[in-house]
Structure 1
Amino acid sequence: MKEVILDLRNELRGKLSPQRYEHTISVSFICTALAMRYGSDLYHAELAGLLHDCAKHLGDGEIIKKCQKQGIQLTDDERKAPAVLHAKYGAWLAQYKYGIEEDEVINAIRWHTTGRPEMSILEKIVFVADYIEPRRDKAAGLSVVRSIAFKDLDECIYLILKNTLDYLKGKNCFVDSMSLEAYAYYEQIHKEMKGEQ
């Protein structure tokens, strides 16, 4: 296990920009911390954190071509918001290039950009870790989100999705429908927790 992690770090160091590599290492550490907190598998959390952006070094057009070449189906939304595609292609790379066999790791990579309703614990961990890692400093309400991450993952996801959607709408950016579905799902959990209906 340790050798796999070290080999992946060396591989990614050669592919990613220095800033993206540092982000990746930070996300993997936050994933393991959250896994400790929520009783998830530490190795799977570190692995998913390391590989979550393994396709991020590719441009949007290049990822679309690679998806087409590999027969990976793209939705209309993904074509309109290609920035989310590094997660889908990254999940493919994790499985077919890096030999990851654990579905929970592959799914955590797959859904780390848009989220989805009913995410697994590991999917939630990677989604949250990507947003709160220490080198991030521009997201709205980051200190509040960070404080909630270790108390309530669902509430944290609700806040991340709310902040992200507000940001994208404020910039007049297209929003992937899966993000909207995820937001509706976690907003309902938020309302139920607050006693609202």
Structure 2
Amino acid sequence: MTTQTQPIQAYSLPTPNGQKVHVMLEELGVPWVYHRIDIGKGEQFAPDFLAISPNNKIPAIVDPEGPGGEPISIFESGAILKYLGLKFGQLYPTDPRQQVKVDEWLFWQVGGFGPMLGQNNHFTLYAPEKIPYAIKRYGEETLRLFRVLNTQLEGRDYIAGDYSIADIASIGWAQSWERYGATRAEHPNVIAWIERLNARPAVARGLAFGKAS
């Protein structure tokens, strides 16, 4: 099993995207250091951060013990999860068919579940002008995605079979299910899955990490 002697540097915030990396690192039990990037102060545009995250978004990591023993920086949360899973041989399967299943649901989250819930948040909570069409569109898409996830979890404890980065990618976004209009009656498998993951100590630590900063 791969070991880590120098801590992984995580540039992040306790947002649903940042929480993916926090949870993953806690699950792996490897040494890591948290660097808070204050987006309210524009720190995401600092040259040092842009050098590792050219899209000026959190999270990003620097692994001082990357391939060949040389440092490597990675941006985009899905890429970080997959890199860490492959490096440490945990939470990402070795069987090619099962890898496809995990990848499908990882990309479902980064391409749909996260962005659509993010747009829902923006137009419902933060947009200076309340646009009924946008609120309705993203509200309906949010609930559609919760229904998709509920169907996938029918008869399963975890999204892609065994517990994996597919679950870690989605758990932070799913936490606010009540605010999005999801219900126990209509989405029982999702709520049970959320409660199952929240009972994991590493998930609880990862979701809480940085909130007091």
TM-score by length of 1: 0.28
Larger helix share, 1 or 2: 1
- Larger relative contact order, structure 1 or 2 (CA cutoff 8 Å, min sep 6): 2
Q: Which structure has the greater CA radius of gyration?
A: 2
TM-score by length of 2: 0.27
